[in-house]
A and B are shown apart, each in its own frame.
Chain A
């Protein structure tokens, strides 16, 4: 292979997708963002580099989907042929930028024959963006020719050949990066967590799965812009557009990796501002997740936050001041996650949140800028920087968030023959049999 084309002197690199594929019916924007996020993560996992998404035009790595001659000396040539390119760190004006041919049929999790696997090509191009040139090594992701999909982005492991070449450029990644934390205050939300479960149809819902229409919830959180409702060992997920991903709950342990197997529920969950890591609370312990994998060294005691050793009912980050609020009983605390320090003068009486009941199940902020408080089967909404519940609340959680009609309860208890039974024992055909199915589209 040719010698590497210099390298970045800094370790924190920002990225942004400036233009998305025009034919986005194949891949939604959230999926494109998530695939770019995970393709960059392939390289940051094995090197001291860190990538964070930003919204502005000052990103180090600008990503474009474009076609034909786009004035950079590497014109595309329609479907097939050249499919993408990226610029080495040494390129004066376009260092790190990556261009993908918008005439290609970009795919994700499609059989080999159809289209071009975006994740595989993106990993290759970001190899150039950090300074790796082509190589003839058969195993390498930096071979110039498209080799087809490389499998599940969450399980992809870089070929050793490529790890060695990136270590030669930047050294290995030690557990703690010695450089100061990047200023990610301007960063846009990181992409949604890719949910790449094994084929769900082979996993029948467990008998003890709760009924979302007739239960209260242990924890509720906005994570990467999506809403998660936790109950027992299960959770429901709603996309950024508030679409329920599935009527059936997913199992916490199958998605949130690293929690103890005997954990039967969680108390509170929130996404930490700044590094967007996700914090789970149960009893006197908490876990920190990077994406959906727990970090080393957890669980730790909640005393780290300066919280009383009684546990936590709820936690959320108030958009108005980016402070983290913890609720327990009829009290609340205010914590600064940027300084990692409890603010003085707390706890205070939760009555200050006028109209919000004590003993909450949880709270969360939502993409409409409001804050939501959950208790039992109801929720309350507080707008913007108010501390008073909006009129017309409480409202039913099941109806407004979880696609339940009034008083409907489709108990998940499945009989052997696959039909579902209502909570009061009445047998009814599964939705699919009478041509009625509730579907939700996710990114």
Chain B
């Protein structure tokens, strides 16, 4: 599959964050997402959307991300993130 453009990756990360699959970037450190966190988030979104869980932003995944939808997130805040905050 053709490699993704930086713009597509950014769109993907924004989308995953917007709908609750990725925690928002840390406002203080601006820490970027780790690769495994991104892969895990993509798989969760693919599973939710009934797609094959490839873990990468393939064609079908990008198409689904462009499908009209409800603004509300699909996932409540990721457990790990809220867990960390609680600690």
Chain A contacts to B: CB under 8 angstroms = 2-3, 74, 76, 80-86, 104, 116, 121, 124-125, 128, 133-134, 136, 138, 144-146
Contacts and interface: CB of A to CB of B under 8 A. Distances in A.
A144 B19 contact: yes
Nearest to A142: B70
A85 B72 contact: yes
A134 B74 contact: yes
Given A2-B75, A138-B50, 10 more contacts: A74-B72, A80-B66, A81-B66, A85-B71, A85-B72, A121-B70, A128-B70, A133-B76, A134-B48, A145-B67
B68 interface: yes
Interface residues of B, number: 17
Interface string B57-77: 000000010111111111110
B81 interface: no
B51 to A, nearest CB: 11
A80 B19 CA distance: 16
A104 B70 CA distance: 13
A14 B70 CA distance: 23
Instruction: List the 4 shortest-distance A-B pairs measured between CB atoms, nearest first.
Output: A85-B71, A82-B71, A146-B68, A74-B71
A104 B68 CA distance: 10
A78 to B, nearest CB: 11
A81 B72 contact: no
Contact of A125 (B49, B70, B73): B70
Contacts of A104: 68
A81 B75 contact: no
Contacts of A144: 19, 48, 69-70, 72, 74
B68 to A, nearest CB: 4
A254 to B, nearest CB: 35
A221 B54 CA distance: 62
Nearest to B18: A82
Contact of A124 (B49, B64, B70): B70
B75 A146 contact: no
Interface in B30-66: 47-50, 64, 66
A104 B64 CA distance: 18
A146 B67 CA distance: 7
Contacts of A80: 66, 68
A88 B72 CA distance: 10
Contacts of B47: 136
A76 B49 CA distance: 21
Contacts of B75: 2
Contact of B70 (A83, A136, A138): A83
Contact of B71 (A2, A76, A136): A76
A37 B65 CA distance: 31
15 contacts: A74-B72, A82-B70, A85-B71, A121-B70, A134-B48, A134-B72, A134-B73, A136-B47, A136-B49, A136-B50, A138-B50, A144-B74, A145-B64, A146-B68, A146-B69
A4 B64 CA distance: 24
B3 to A, nearest CB: 25
A84 B68 CA distance: 9
Contacts of B76: 2-3, 133
Contacts of B67: 145-146
A161 to B, nearest CB: 14
Contacts of A136: 47-50, 74
Nearest to B72: A85
A133 B73 CA distance: 9
A136 B68 CA distance: 16
B70 A85 contact: yes
